[in-house]
Structure 1
Amino acid sequence: MVRRQRVWWVAAAAAAVVAVSTALLAGPGNDRASAGAAPTMLVIGDSISASYVDEPGSPKQAWWSFVARELGYETTVLAEAGSGYQRPGSQCRGTTFPQRPGVFEQPPPSLILVEGGRNDWARCDGTDLVPVPSEEVLAAADAFLERLTTTYPDARVVVLAPPWGPLQQQYVDDVTAAIETAADRNGCEFLPMDGVLPEDRTPDGVHPDLDGSRAIAEVVLTALNREPDAV
């Protein structure tokens, strides 16, 4: 049985999912859930995580839902549309990753997946967006991942490259390189997402459709099924 609790925060007339706490048990044929307590997974992200659901068969099934159901994780999702390592979500009135309530107050998870950076090409100037140099993205990601790995020293921390659709491609290389450098500095595994969201998997150029979410999940699952040192 799947048990779900969702908390929705509303800012500037836009609803953004800030916290989703979901007990995800393994599907049929997976013995992990019945063998004992399920391992725990913390997901931190933006709208690519926040705007989707844990409902198999739904066109909005989340990438993290595919991962958790395949591997039998009990999952907490702390995600907010529009956010990033240094950019607050909810039309610049929400939280950044390090500001997100609960990020550093979880029972120690077995696995942490950080999905984001797509929004970090810009910072908020009031409600306006101003492009930022990659050095600012690196500094923000580095500080966040250092605190995350210090807070949860025994967790496997996997950092996804921003799953980037066809829009705003001029920022993808610099932002992705900054996040990869921060991940390497802090001993996190980094997962490239090159080509995961082509035009036919993202109806708006940014957010994945079901095939896009499944493609992200497949990259993550491939990495998680390897030994950490092999990634």
Structure 2
Amino acid sequence: MTRRVQTPVRRLAFVGVTVVSTLSALVASTTAATPATSDDTAAERRVVAQPRETMVVIGDSYSSYYGDRHSPYPGWWATLATDLALDPVVDATGGTGFLMRNSDCAQTRFRARMDTIRQADPRLLLVEGGRNDWRRCDANGVPVESTRTQIEAAANEYFAELAVVWDQLGRPRSDVYVVSPWGTSKPRKARVIRPIIEAAAEAHGFTYVPTRPLTLAQAPDGVHPNNEGSRFLRDQILANSDLLDRFSRI
């Protein structure tokens, strides 16, 4: 699947509200009242609804294979963004990660997507990945198995660069949340890779959100969530983080 950036339409609503009040002053005369002046009447005011803030998602097929909340297969990020009253921008490519560039070795790693973050200048950033990093592409463009050292180096390089970009945007690092979802496939790889991602994220001041592995009922192929799995992943992210405390719900 090719890389995509999904940017929802933002709406800017203008609501005009007119409030008119007339103040009448009684005078000593028993037959007349002084008419209200222009100062006694409130001026017409326009209330402008500001566009919603943005949530960027950088990820792999756990994010790229799914649509917005109105699609037949809404992604975990779509329902999460609705809960947090944020507009999602998704830059995700199946098969990629901190180290891996897809099985054809022709796609981008996460580090190549910093421009999406810079351009969106989001209120919140979700980095989702790690599942594909048990492999890497060698010098000949052939997928081979990764070592622990290579995964650690790739994760640390990514988060170090992200820290620079995020600081340049003037955002607190507490607004970056990292998640590494997993299914039932390759559980031994999960026990190696997920702690590496957690340690690298936290070493650079970002928030790692633990999630339970998806069951076969939630990810029938052992990897990709169905609708139940996407809802479960959303629920896990909310339950194991402070997002609901920090963001308004619709």
The verdict on how the C-alpha distance between 1:93 and 1:201 changes in structure 2, with shifts beyond 3 A counting, is same
Partner of 2:222: 205
Kept after mapping to 1: 8 A contact 2:159/2:201: yes
1:50 and 2:64 equivalent?
A: yes
Instruction: Output the CA distance in 2 between the equivalents of 1:118 and 1:103.
Output: 22
- Identical counterparts, % of pairs: 33
The verdict on how the C-alpha distance between 1:191 and 1:200 changes in structure 2, with shifts beyond 3 A counting, is same
Aligned length: 203
Instruction: Output the CA distance in 1 between the equivalents of 2:136 and 2:69.
Output: 33
Partner of 2:205: 187
Structure with higher Rg: it is 2
Amino acid at match of 2:106: R
Match of 1:146 among 151, 155, 160: 160
Partner of 2:143: 129
- Displacement after TM superposition at 1:70 (Å): 1.6
The verdict on how the C-alpha distance between 1:23 and 1:135 changes in structure 2, with shifts beyond 3 A counting, is farther
1:89 and 2:102 equivalent?
A: yes
* 3-state DSSP of counterpart to 1:89: coil
Instruction: Output the CA distance in 1 between the equivalents of 2:71 and 2:115.
Output: 29
Q: 5+ residue gaps in structure 2?
A: 12-47
1:41 and 2:55 equivalent?
A: yes
Match of 1:163 among 181, 184, 190: 181
Partner of 2:7: 21
Instruction: Output the CA distance in 2 between the equivalents of 1:109 and 1:173.
Output: 31
Instruction: Output the CA distance in 2 between the equivalents of 1:202 and 1:186.
Output: 31
Q: TM-score, normalised by structure 2?
A: 0.74
Amino acid at match of 1:206: V
Match of 2:82 among 52, 65, 69: 69
Q: Which has the higher strand share?
A: 1
Instruction: Output the CA distance in 1 between the equivalents of 2:96 and 2:176.
Output: 19
Amino acid at match of 1:225: L
